[in-house]
Amino acid sequence: MSKQLGNSPDPLDLIAQYGADGVRVALMLCTSAGNDLMFDESLCEQGRNFCNKIWNAYRLLGTWSVDEAAAQPDHSAKAIEWFESVLNKATAEINDHFGAYRISDAMMAAYKLFWDDFSGWYLEMVKPTWGSPIDGATIRATKRFFERLLELLHPFMPFVTEELWQNIAERKEGESIMFAEQPTELPYDEKMLAEFDLAREVVSAVRNIRAKQNVPNKEQVALEVIADENYHPAYNCVVSKMANLSAITEVSEKNPTAAAFIVKTTEYFVPMSANINVEEEVAKMTKELAHYEGFLKGVLAKLGNERFVANAPAAVVENERNKQRDAEAKIAALKERMAALQN
Amino acid sequence: MELAEKYSPQTIESKWYDYWMEHRMFHSEPDHRTPYTIVIPPPNVTGMLHMGHMLNNTLQDVLIRRARMQGLNACWVPGTDHASIATEAKVVAKLKAEGIEKSDLTREQFLAHAWEWKEKHGGIILKQLRKLGASCDWERTCFTMDDARTEGVIKVFVDLYNKGKIYRGVRMVNWDPSAQTALSDEEVIYKESQGKFYYLRYKVEGSDRSLIVATTRPETILGDSAVCVNPNDPRYADLPEDARVIVPLVGRSVPVIRDEYVDIEFGTGALKVTPAHDVNDYMLGEKYGLETIDIFNPDGTINDKVGLYVGMDRFECRKVIEGDLQATGLLEKTEAYTNNVGYSERTGVAIEPKLSMQWFLSMEELAKPATAAVMEDVIKFVPEKYKNTYRHWMENIKDWCISRQLWWGQRIPAWYLPKGGFVVAENEAEALELARAKSGDSTLTLADLRQDEDVLDTWFSSWLWPISVFDGIRNPDNDEIKYYYPTNDLVTGPDIIFFWVARMIMAGYEWRGERPFNHVYTPVS
């Protein structure tokens, strides 16, 4: 090991530059892929960024004003119920990694838990709208989660977690996160987690449509759904908030003019006409259509060349066929949508 | 408490480390809780932190902090290794830069310099570990050469000697001409080297015939005692039974011996035999009662035994001798040849096989329980892949050469009697008592005894580490050793599984009757 790392930078310089917590995270990251140690200074940057992420998320909580008496919104109650399960499940997973000495994997699990689930989803769900206060029950639950996350992360990044842990609640002199006892086994609801994942997919799909169709996040859109067994209306409050929906309506027929997507088996539609300028949209699609038709022509010419098909490696030919299929599907979808808009 | 707007590791890291230290939060004492123990692989006392240490120590800190948060009584014992050969080499180099040769100093003078160096540079690496956040119980910091550990090492040596496991003998050892000490087999690294095969002409006495002998080391002809051929080799079937040949340049007459050890297919089928400088030749020499002519000084220059090339360095001599052989028509030809040459792990110079008087530890019995412990998963290797390598090594274990011709280390507790023989004892008073009894001469005084000049291999102290850090060698029934031993996890590099891990397991069974740790975790291969 010492030999493989012989030409690495001076560890103390790295600590001075990125902080010990950041360097520790980097060391865990560089061993996570398997046995080979591939140390790269950019990992230290990633480590320090993670410290910053935690720091800034914590500071965000501090910027929210609290109204103890305010009622807890449904979406916050659901979010709390969900994150409790996420956290308990991740804790079990981390314990499992530790049991098998997969220490880098344990850290990666804690890293993703904080970065994706907590910061990317949970905080967004409970975040009060700009200028309004957060209710007492939600902020208390959020701080409790934060504290548990700090405790999970402490062995990997002892300093930043101690600093925030000391700040998040009143502590007596001589207390330390070092002795905050860790829960071993806590219950979690697999069924709820699976259902919630579908709700998250719906949110992602709507966000994709917004990006493609240039619909700003501030502007509300409607969502239609053909309900089936994979549709769980219990999470609509969360989906509505996260995707900024005006309403979620159950329908029985496909909406041909809407942007459609499927999550597992459930079909969803975002009606677009209200949000778009038909003429502009048709003009945009006509241009797009011309591009794909030209592209398809090129691909077909290649595939029409017998020498190419006979001599090129099978994978290359197959790649061209895939391009053909994709282009044909795009063209069909564009034509269908233009026809629907123009009617 | 006000939180800073921006994350600034420089500000918070020293603040919290001081807080933890001030409240002695890393300190552990035996109590009613379940212990969780890690002993640090002790870095060289004058070493500096490198990325390998960083990774291993981060992992240890993660494990120990997690254990603490699970309510276990976590104890991570830090310390440093005196690193006999590495430290001595550094001190010698430092003195040389100041114009002082080691040979101009007495043992005491040299050791004073070495301790001064240790005090000045020692322990920097432990301070560096604090920067990393390592939550070691610093109050327990040990050094493999401090008084408690040294007493343990001496006690163990005497114990093994009294059990008949330590013996003294002339053996072929791996000689490091730069450090001028013997090395264990594990301290020799074999590398492919470009060399030449020299075909030399040995004239058969009383005939016009010559034998052509191929060698990679023509300078060693100075120490030749015979030429050996295979009795089934038809090329030499007509040589008389008592044929003798003349060693080129040297003019010495040596016998032609016949042994099936010689490979007929290899080279010319005729082998020069130099018992003092080749392990295989040494065995042939033993078998046929050949003379052993050691031609080298301890620093690798030619000595005055033969009277040729005296004082010349071994590699320089090889070049000169090639020219001389050429000039006298005794060099038939040369061929390019790639062979494996052993180099010293510490000083990087080519190892010289050399006969010398050394102390050895018999390993076979010690290895048995240690092999079983790993094979039966009493001690688990993570990952498991090193289990088989471990077994292979343990099943082919050789006796351990534990003496080193150095000064920095634990001096071998053997005292030589004026009229021959020696005694092994824990201290001078005991040695004198034993010496008087052995010699039957009650007038003997300490001044009549001469203590062995050699020190012990560093691993002979670090193999006791999981026991010695809790003073379990000197005081085997103390509360700490009973509470913290066996330790839980050992986090180390796979490169020292045999040097260190295997030997700690042997020591664990020998002096505690049980494993030193539950898991051996080698994160990087």
Whether A190-275 shares its CATH topology with A278-342 is answered: no
Residues of chain B contacting residue A162, judged by C-beta atoms under 8 Å apart: 12, 16, 19
User: Does the domain at residues A278-342 carry the CATH identifier 1.10.10?
Assistant: no
Length of chain A: 343
With a pLDDT cut of 70, the percent of chain B lying above it is 99
- What residues does each domain of chain A span? 11-179, 190-275, 278-342
Residue A35's pLDDT band (cuts 50, 70, 90): very low
CATH superfamily of A11-179: Isoleucyl-tRNA Synthetase; Domain 1 (1.10.730.10)
Residue A4's pLDDT band (cuts 50, 70, 90): very low
- What residues does each domain of chain B span? 9-146+462-521, 160-186+353-376+394-456, 188-350
Q: Tell me what pLDDT residue A217 has.
A: 85
- Calpha distance B317→B327 (Å, rounded): 15
- Calpha distance B199→B216 (Å, rounded): 9
- Calpha distance B491→B514 (Å, rounded): 19
Q: Which range is most confident: A250-259, A323-332, B163-172, B473-482?
A: B473-482
The DSSP element (H or E) to which A62 belongs, if any, is helix A41-63
- Calpha distance B461→B151 (Å, rounded): 10
Q: What is the pLDDT averaged over residues B323-337? A: 93
Out of 3.40.50.620, 3.40.309.10, 3.50.50.60, 3.90.1150.10, the CATH code matching B9-146+462-521 is: 3.40.50.620
Q: What is the pLDDT averaged over residues A273-284? A: 74
Nearest CA in chain B to A30: B55
Among B3, B13, B71, the residue with its CB nearest the CB of A159 is B13
What digits encode the pLDDT tens for the residues B264-308? 888 899 999 999 988 889 888 888 989 999 999 999 999 999 999
Q: Tell me what pLDDT residue A34 has.
A: 45
Q: Tell me what pLDDT residue B355 has.
A: 84
Specify the DSSP class assigned to residue A260. Answer: E
Residue A33's pLDDT band (cuts 50, 70, 90): very low
Q: Tell me what pLDDT residue A21 has.
A: 98
Residue A283's pLDDT band (cuts 50, 70, 90): confident
Q: B188-350 belongs to which CATH class?
A: alpha beta
Q: Tell me what pLDDT residue B49 has.
A: 86
Is residue A1 pLDDT above 50, yes or no? no
Q: Tell me what pLDDT residue B364 has.
A: 95
Cα B74 to the chain's mean position, in Å?
33
What digits encode the pLDDT tens for the residues B214-270? 999 999 999 999 999 999 999 999 899 899 999 999 999 999 999 998 988 888 999
- Calpha distance A16→A22 (Å, rounded): 10
- Calpha distance A246→A225 (Å, rounded): 14
- Calpha distance A81→A141 (Å, rounded): 10
Nearest Cα of chain B lies from the Cα of A77 at a distance, in angstroms, of 29
Q: Tell me what pLDDT residue B184 has.
A: 79
Q: Report residue A216 as tokens.
A: 């700003």
Is residue B133 pLDDT above 90, yes or no? yes
Nearest CA in chain B to A166: B1
Nearest Cα of chain B lies from the Cα of A75 at a distance, in angstroms, of 30
Q: What is the pLDDT averaged over residues A317-322? A: 89
Residue A340's pLDDT band (cuts 50, 70, 90): confident
Nearest CA in chain A to B55: A27
Is residue A37 pLDDT above 80, yes or no? no
Q: What is the pLDDT averaged over residues A189-212? A: 93
Closest listed residue to residue B280, CA positions, set B228, B232, B230: B228
The answer to whether the Cβ–Cβ distance between A55 and B493 falls below 8 Å is no
Among B1, B9, B59, the residue with its CB nearest the CB of A22 is B9
- Calpha distance B97→A3 (Å, rounded): 28
Q: How many other C-beta atoms are found inside a 10 Å radius of the C-beta of residue A239? A: 24
* Average pLDDT, rounded, for chain A: 89
Is residue A7 pLDDT above 60, yes or no? no
Among B3, B71, B133, the residue with its CB nearest the CB of A158 is B133
Q: What is the SS3 assignment for B465-490? A: HHHHCCCCCCCCCCHHHHHHCCEEEE
Q: What is the pLDDT averaged over residues A78-95? A: 96
- What is the interface pTM, i.e. ipTM, of the complex? 0.81
CB-based contact A203:A121 (threshold 8 Å): no
Q: Tell me what pLDDT residue A8 has.
A: 63
Q: What is the pLDDT averaged over residues B455-481? A: 97
Residues of chain A contacting residue B494, judged by C-beta atoms under 8 Å apart: 1
Is residue B148 pLDDT above 50, yes or no? yes
Distance in Å from the first CA to the final CA of chain B? 45
With a pLDDT cut of 90, the percent of chain B lying above it is 77
Q: Quick check: B493 contacting A, CB < 8 Å?
A: yes
Is residue A292 pLDDT above 60, yes or no? yes
| B303-306 contact pairs (CB < 8 A, 24+) | B305/B222, B306/B222, B306/B223, B306/B250
Residue B37's pLDDT band (cuts 50, 70, 90): very high
Nearest Cα of chain A lies from the Cα of B43 at a distance, in angstroms, of 12
Which of B5, B6, B16 has the highest number of chain A CBs within 10 A, making it the mutation to test binding with A? Answer: B16
Is residue B69 pLDDT above 50, yes or no? yes
* Average pLDDT, rounded, for chain B: 93
Is residue A281 pLDDT above 80, yes or no? no
Length of chain B: 525
What is residue B43's three-state secondary structure?
A: coil
| B205-213 contact pairs (CB < 8 A, 24+) | B205/B243, B205/B244, B205/B245, B205/B246, B205/B253, B211/B236, B211/B245, B211/B256, B211/B268, B211/B270, B212/B268, B212/B270, B212/B332, B213/B267, B213/B268, B213/B270, B213/B271, B213/B272
A-B C-beta contacts closer than 8 Å: 150
Residue A277's pLDDT band (cuts 50, 70, 90): confident
Q: A190-275 belongs to which CATH class?
A: alpha beta
Q: Tell me what pLDDT residue A274 has.
A: 62
Closest listed residue to residue B84, CA positions, set B196, B206, B176: B176
